[in-house]
Structure 1
Amino acid sequence: MMGMDGAAWLAALQRDFPPSGTLAADVDALFAAHGREVTREHVPRVAHEALGLAQRFGVDPLAAQTAALLHDVGGIVSGARMPALCGGLGVPIVPEERQVPMLLHAKLSVVLARELYGVTDTGVLQAVRFHTTLHARPTPLDRVVFLADKLEWDQGGVPPYHADLLNALEDGLEAGTRWFLGWMASPQARLLIPHPDLRAAWAAFGISAPA
Structure 2
Amino acid sequence: MMSLFPKTGTLAADVDRVLAAFGREVTRHHVPRVTQRAEELALQFGVDVHAARTAALLHDLGGIFRRDEMVDLCTALELPVVPEERRVPLLLHAKLSVVLAREWQGVDSPEILQAIRYHTTLHASATALDQVVFLADKLEWDQGGEPPYARALCAALEGGLEAGTRWMLGWMALPEARLLIPHPDLREAWRAYGLTDPSAAAREWSG
TM surpasses 0.5:
yes
Whichever residue aligns with residue 5 of structure 2, its letter is F
Who is 2:205 aligned against?
A: none
Separation (CA, whole Å) in 1 of partners of 2:8 and 2:109: 19
Is 1:185–1:208's contact at 8 Å kept on the other side of the alignment? no
* Structure 2 residue corresponding to 1:196, chosen from 184, 204, 207: 184
**Do residues 83 (structure 1) and 77 (structure 2) align?**
no
Q: Relative to 1, partners in 2 of residues 1:191 and 1:166: Cα closer, same or farther, differing over 3 Å?
A: same
**Do residues 170 (structure 1) and 164 (structure 2) align?**
no
Structure 2 gap segments, 5+ residues each? 199-207
- The secondary structure found in structure 2 opposite 1:68 is helix
Following TM superposition, the consecutive aligned residue runs of length 4 or more in structure 1 with deviations greater than 3 angstroms are: none
- The secondary structure found in structure 1 opposite 2:75 is helix
Separation (CA, whole Å) in 1 of partners of 2:196 and 2:13: 41
Whichever residue aligns with residue 174 of structure 1, its letter is E
Who is 1:60 aligned against?
A: 48
Separation (CA, whole Å) in 2 of partners of 1:112 and 1:209: 36
Whichever residue aligns with residue 163 of structure 2, its letter is A
**Do residues 73 (structure 1) and 61 (structure 2) align?**
yes
Give the number of aligned pairs: 198
Is 1:70–1:109's contact at 8 Å kept on the other side of the alignment? yes
* Structure 2 residue corresponding to 1:37, chosen from 25, 34, 40: 25
TM-score (norm. length: structure 2): 0.94
Q: Relative to 1, partners in 2 of residues 1:205 and 1:152: Cα closer, same or farther, differing over 3 Å?
A: same
Is 1:113–1:119's contact at 8 Å kept on the other side of the alignment? yes
Who is 2:128 aligned against?
A: 140
* Structure 2 residue corresponding to 1:25, chosen from 13, 19, 24: 13
Instruction: Report the aligned-residue RMSD.
Output: 0.8
Who is 1:108 aligned against?
A: 96
Separation (CA, whole Å) in 1 of partners of 2:27 and 2:84: 23
Identity of matched residues, %: 67
Separation (CA, whole Å) in 1 of partners of 2:118 and 2:178: 19
Q: Relative to 1, partners in 2 of residues 1:208 and 1:188: Cα closer, same or farther, differing over 3 Å?
A: farther
TM-superposition CA deviations, 1:150-202 (whole Å, max 9, x none): 00000001100000000000000000000000000111111100000000000
Whichever residue aligns with residue 143 of structure 1, its letter is Q
Is 1:106–1:131's contact at 8 Å kept on the other side of the alignment? yes
Whichever residue aligns with residue 38 of structure 1, its letter is V
TM-superposition CA deviations, 1:66-112 (whole Å, max 9, x none): 00000000000011110001111111100000000000000000000
Structure 1 gap segments, 5+ residues each? 1-11
Who is 1:92 aligned against?
A: 80
